[in-house]
Chains A and B, each alone.
Chain A
Amino acid sequence: MRRDWLPILILWVSAFAVIAFLLALIIYIAIKGIPILSLKFLFTFPRGIEARGGIFPTIMATFYTTILAGIFVTPVAVGGAVFLTEYAEEGWLIRIIRFGADILASVPSIVFGLFGLALFVYAFGLGYSMLAGGLTLSLMILPIVMRATEEAIMAIPQSYREASYGLGATKWQTIKNVVLPTASPRIVTGIILGIGRAFGETAALIFTAGMAINFPYFPSDPGRTMTCHLYLLATEGISTDIAFGTAFLLLIFILAFNLLARRFGEFSGGRR
């Protein structure tokens, strides 16, 4: 074994590099960002040309667009997944839809932004708005949530379905009362992961939710999300301390989403 020390060292370094980069990133952002965090930062509006002060409306716009995206994506993703796994017969239709979902998943988000601009902002006349942003985000995370839901449904043992059929349940009753409830923890995990992805999205929102600094009350209101705020501060080179504070807050939220998703995942894996 002693002769193998070199490859083992290289493998060890590669593996360690992953966690090292993550730690370096978090620590760097934290050192720069933590001093900025305060209640005032969280709950006041940006002031003046250099956007000093807080980022309250951007936090609200971020949650607004993300929650809307979650609301829009869930029925479509779950419906599509149920159709693909339970109703569609294995064949060209399924292959095309799955292939389409995979392509959709790899489309750059800026392209979604452009599409959202053309369709929701202009064609539907929604203007820069929470609604247009939420819709664009929902399209973007649709493949993620749909695939997660499909896998959750396919993991349900056939024996549950047979038990239900054996009691005289129809297919739809079986799906509604057995398959979806049993798969729901994993479906929720998929939705949270999708929402986490939407939460950190920038490019798809610049042209759809807009850049206006205002508190978004209605779905028709525009608003600047945290990521867009960060993007603007960084490109303009103003108030970099505020940018780091925003970045740190984003990281915390994303981390929370991941932990939440993991918790639900464990809940579904753990058989009582």
Chain B
Amino acid sequence: MKNAFEVRNLNFWYGNFKALENITLDIQANRITAFIGPSGCGKSTFLRCLNRMNDIIEGSKLEGEVYLFGDNIYGNSVDVAELRRRVGMIFQQPNPFPMSIYDNVAYGPRIHGVKNKDELDEIVKRSLERAALWKEVKDKLNQSALSLSGGQQQRLCFARLLAVDPEVILMDEPCSAIDPTSTQKIEDLMYELKESYTIIIVTHNMQQAARVSDFTAFMLAEENKSATIIEYGSTESIFTNPKDKRTENYITGRFG
């Protein structure tokens, strides 16, 4: 099975605070990998290392290597914008732009140089269909995206992302700010998307990790230590037969 990411000896600092300690793991392509762990365990920080979203935080520093399909994304000649197109991101709070639904989805393609109106229309339609939102919005594409419900906004963010044709989708607690029905829709969406995309999801919700993911990494920042990966394996083995006592304590709800 092909690896989408190969992470080697990754250390990460916010200023003087060491947030991530010596992370090494492989993430398989076309699978859903979940990062779980208590608040402040560095899951989101690690996720944001995978598309260099942490670069925009002043004073952050990273050591180690992250390979995306074999190329070191922290190498010297990397085009960070292109990297972020290939490795897209869905955020905790739905964050559509304050523009029309159409313009939200067309934003990425336009940035990347698509000007032809018919082509844009086609991309917008296809992306909204893939995000299971087309039927709900097809008659109001010119309305503000902010008029949609929270769950619809999050699916719009998926459509917006799919429109730039990424290879990997990072999701930072994508369902924590939306209702259960919408969560269900987004989980269904994830099943469909993993055919064509590698998906990495950070979640607070262990049931969600158990439901949707193929692989699970349990992260933890123990007292006076930096966060790191405690245990990593197939979701089934992590949830039914954890090898580390701390993993077992967490998934059985003793802390976190």
Binding site for B on A (CB under 8 A): 89-90, 157, 159-170, 173, 177-178, 181-182, 271-272
Contacts and interface: CB of A to CB of B under 8 A. Distances in A.
B84 A168 contact: yes
Q: Is the interface of A mostly helix, strand, loop or mixed?
A: helix
A160 B97 contact: yes
A166 B110 CA distance: 14
A167 B123 CA distance: 15
A179 to B, nearest CB: 10
Interface of B: 51, 53, 56, 58, 81-86, 88-89, 91, 93, 95-99, 107-108, 110-112, 144, 146-147, 157, 160-161, 164
Contacts of B81: 165, 168-170, 173
Nearest to A272: B144
Given A89-B58, A90-B58, A168-B82, A163 B157 contact: yes
10 contacts: A159-B91, A160-B95, A161-B56, A166-B84, A166-B161, A167-B84, A168-B82, A170-B81, A271-B98, A272-B144
B88 A167 contact: yes
A81 B147 CA distance: 30
A209 to B, nearest CB: 40
- Determine which residue in A160, A161, A165 has the highest number of CB atoms from chain B within 10 A of its CB, and name it: A165
Nearest to B165: A168
Given A168-B82, A177-B110, A182-B97, 9 more contacts: A159-B95, A161-B56, A162-B53, A162-B89, A163-B160, A165-B56, A166-B51, A167-B164, A178-B97
Contacts of B89: 162, 166
B149 to A, nearest CB: 14
A167 B84 CA distance: 6
A162 B107 contact: no
Contacts of B146: 271-272
B85 A168 contact: yes
Contacts of A161: 56
B53 A166 contact: yes
Given A90-B58, A173-B111, A167 B160 contact: yes
Contacts of B96: 163
Contacts of B98: 160, 182, 271
Nearest to A90: B58
Contact of B147 (A89, A166, A168, A272): A272
- Determine which residue in B84, B86, B88, B91 has the highest number of CB atoms from chain A within 10 A of its CB, and name it: B84
A167 B95 contact: no
A87 to B, nearest CB: 12
B107 A168 contact: no
A167 B97 contact: no
When A and B form their complex, which 9 residue pairs have the shortest distance between CB atoms, in order from nearest?
A168-B85, A166-B89, A159-B95, A167-B108, A163-B95, A170-B81, A168-B84, A169-B111, A272-B144
Contacts of A173: 81, 111
B82 A162 contact: no
A94 to B, nearest CB: 13
Contacts of A181: 99
Contacts of B83: 168
A119 to B, nearest CB: 38
Contact of A167 (B58, B93, B107): B107
A112 B160 CA distance: 50
Contacts of B56: 161-162, 165
Contacts of A164: 97, 107, 111
A242 to B, nearest CB: 49
Contacts of A162: 53, 56, 89, 91, 95
A153 B13 CA distance: 28
A189 B53 CA distance: 33
Contacts of A163: 91, 95-97, 157, 160
A5 B81 CA distance: 65
Nearest to A156: B98
Given A162-B91, A163-B91, A272-B146, A168 B111 contact: yes
